[in-house]
Amino acid sequence: MENVANVVTLMRVAITPLFVVFMVMSNSHPGYRWVALAVFMFGAFTDFADGQIARRTDTISRFGIIVDPLADRLFIGATIITLYSMRIIPLLFLIVVLGRDVLMAVGYPFIGKIDPDKVAVHWSGKVATATLFGALTLLIMSTPTVFGGGQYGFSGSRAGFSGFPLTSPGGHWAQFLGLWLFIVGMAWSLYSAGIYVKRALAAVAEEKAQGSAEAGADAPA
């Protein structure tokens, strides 16, 4: 049982390309949107399941502590890039979440040298992830506009906020609610990032202090 939680985490990584493919195909075949939604919800379930399995079987490992949040970032990152490319979310939303994830990814090589207990997942990170999963579920369910020639799609701006139902749903309730819930998720995401950075810097400083103390103790009198 010791590797089950890690296998579940890796399943989330493995299904990420499937979601992207089905979601992109939904522009020409709307039925694939529901397949993409099912794949996404399964991925969201694995995020809950791997942590539960690790805790209930007492198999929390350094691999899981490092890879689980990376799998979350990959899954969410691929999802929001896909939604942006389909004009379902604004560019700023993409920049904020991916910027936060890049910051976290840059710190992982340093975290690997630190006691995992000092940089374990904080509850705010889980709240951020759960909120973003909820927002993304609604956004995936968004109803596309039917353009001329029977083409489906969205009309959001590539750079600004025009074309997005942020002030009034206008018949696009799922997208309207998803965008506002996404804003809440971004706020939690930035808050949790601040906590992780603070923890990591404190842990690095502590490690350096311990190293200096040990070096001083080993120095010849």
Which segment, 126-135, 151-160, 198-207, is predicted with the most confidence on average?
126-135
Identify the pLDDT of residue 102.
81
Q: What pLDDT does 54 receive? A: 77
Contact status, residue 156 vs residue 90, Cβ threshold 8 Å: yes
The predicted pLDDT at position 1 comes to 43
Residue 104, pLDDT > 50, answer: yes
> What's the pLDDT score for residue 148?
60
Contact 26, 33 (CB under 8 A): yes
User: What pTM value is reported for the model?
Assistant: 0.82
Q: Work out the number of other CB atoms within 10 angstroms of the CB of residue 50.
A: 24
Comparing 14-23, 133-142, 178-187, 210-219, the range with the smallest average pLDDT is 210-219
* Residue 99 pLDDT exceeds 70: yes
Backbone angles phi, psi at 92, to 5 degrees: -60, -40
CA 191/CA 176 separation, integer angstroms: 23
Please report which confidence band the pLDDT of residue 171 belongs to, taking 50, 70 and 90 as the band edges.
confident
pLDDT tens per residue across span 117-129: 555 567 888 898 8
| Under 8 Å between Cβ of 140 and 80 | no
Answer whether residue 184 shows pLDDT above 80: yes
Q: Which two tokens stand for residue 205?
A: 């400083």
Between 148 and 138, where is the model more confident? 138
Q: Output the six-digit token pair for 116.
A: 């995992």
Query: 79: which 2 tokens?
Result: 């999802």
Which domains occur in the chain, in start order? 4-141+158-212 (1.20.120)
The whole-number pLDDT of residue 110 equals 58
3-state secondary structure of 145: strand
Least confident of 27-31, 146-150, 192-196: 146-150
- CA-based nearest residue to 138, from 42, 17, 41, 46: 41
Select from 102, 119, 101 the least CA-distant residue to 110: 119
User: For residue range 49-98, what is the model confidence (pLDDT) as tens digits?
Assistant: 887 887 788 777 777 777 887 888 899 899 999 999 999 999 999 999 99
* pLDDT band at 213; cut points 50, 70, 90: low
Higher pLDDT, 32 or 129: 32
